[in-house]
Structure 1
């Protein structure tokens, strides 16, 4: 579920592949990917162009299902592979941290206590070249409904920044 090239200008750090994505071997090859591509304002061809967009998950395999959805990414993946991979992505101009696990990995102690807290500070993170996003999963419809500012304020900036770096 990894897609990367030394020339990638946009880095998407995601959580871990879901069951369907794991089965196809194509990152975001599901309804979450459809929503994410819409948020970014890109089509499938551009999204899957590794020369421009890198997709690096926190977990590299489907972690299994739990009571409330997929389990968290396996804890050994990111510490094993990110230090080897990330330095090779020298052209990245914008990093998108998608979901709470990616935000924990990318933002570390600079993330908020909750996803909403992290998201509300998106301007501060963007100033450092990182933009946190909620996971585009249909499970997050309630969060999106409670936070209409996301679509009104953040999505236009996201689309503009993605167009700029690509």
Structure 2
């Protein structure tokens, strides 16, 4: 039987509340949920390298980082943001690798957990099955998050839906300059985004010091 198109949800797609139709495990501990996430094969027919969910989560974490989906290098290593984008993101946030990869301090929960393959320009979008399947129950089990950093358009569409349709620069500036904003919007740190960064030099000169200060304050508690 032929496969559906890449972006068509299969018949076992999940409802928008983020819980499987037969899921009664609302009191499931985070560790048990993570075991199910890491064993997930919902998108397997559409993943060129097969499923390998990559994320980092601990109920103690205070900072949540939301990216797009793992690239090929991250798929190979199994370590979130273990690539050029991650190096730049850590610089933007003022975080060492030690802090960035400390799950008790930083949760890394991308919009898609597995490498989706290549698209027309760069990697394909996150698989559409992933976030509805897992995002709501995962975030419900991260009670101590004080700040969310949303990186790139797919993270912004979920976590800052009210800003949908705004130019990226406007969303980035408005969230990063608001002292108590619960979500900070950042452009994607991929080298493919160098053009945007060159056209918006104020992001690095004016906003990144504010971003680093917020992150440092959140993690100092």
| TM-score with structure 2 setting the length | 0.72
For 1:116, the equivalent position in structure 2 comes to: 169
Choose the corresponding residue for 1:77, options 118, 123, 130.
130
Contact persistence 1:35–1:136 (CA under 8 A): yes
1:29-71 deviations in Å (ceiling 9; x for gaps): 0011100111111111110000000000100101110121001
What is the SS of the residue equivalent to 1:160?
A: helix
Q: Distance in 1 between matches of 2:71 and 2:204?
A: 25
| Structure 2 gap ranges (5+) | 1-53
Aligned partner of 1:158 in structure 2 is 211
CA drift at 1:124: 6.9
Q: How far apart are 1:120 and its partner, in Å?
A: 3.2
* Mapped partners of 2:68, 2:168: distance in 1: 14
Label 1:105 to 1:18 Cα distance change in 2 as closer, same or farther (>3 A).
same
Higher RCO, 1 vs 2 (CA within 8 Å, ≥6 residues apart):
1
Give the alignment partner of residue 26 of structure 1, picking from 55, 79, 97. Answer: 79
Deviations 1:88-127 (A, max 9, x none): 1111110000000100011113334332332232247664
Count of aligned pairs between the two proteins = 166
Contact (CA 8 Å) 1:112, 1:118: kept in 2 or not? no
> 2:98 pairs with 45, 58, 82, which one?
45
- Are 1:12 and 2:65 counterparts? yes
| Shift in Å, 1:85 | 0.4
Larger radius of gyration: 2
Whichever structure has more helix as a proportion of its residues is 1
Q: 1:63 aligns with which of 116, 123, 141?
A: 116
Which structure 1 segments of 5+ residues have no match?
Answer: none
Q: 1:94 aligns with which of 128, 131, 147?
A: 147
8 Å CA contact 2:177, 2:207 repeated in 1: no
CA 157–35 in structure 1, closer or farther in 2 if over 3 Å, else same: same
In 2, the alpha carbon distance for the partners of 1:112 and 1:96 equals: 19
Structure 1: distance between partners of 2:180 and 2:191: 29
Give the alignment's Cα RMSD to 1 decimal. Answer: 1.4
- Judge which range, 122-131 or 20-29, deviates more: 122-131
Distance 2:152 2:177 in 1: 17
The residue matched to 1:70 in structure 2 has which SS?
Answer: coil
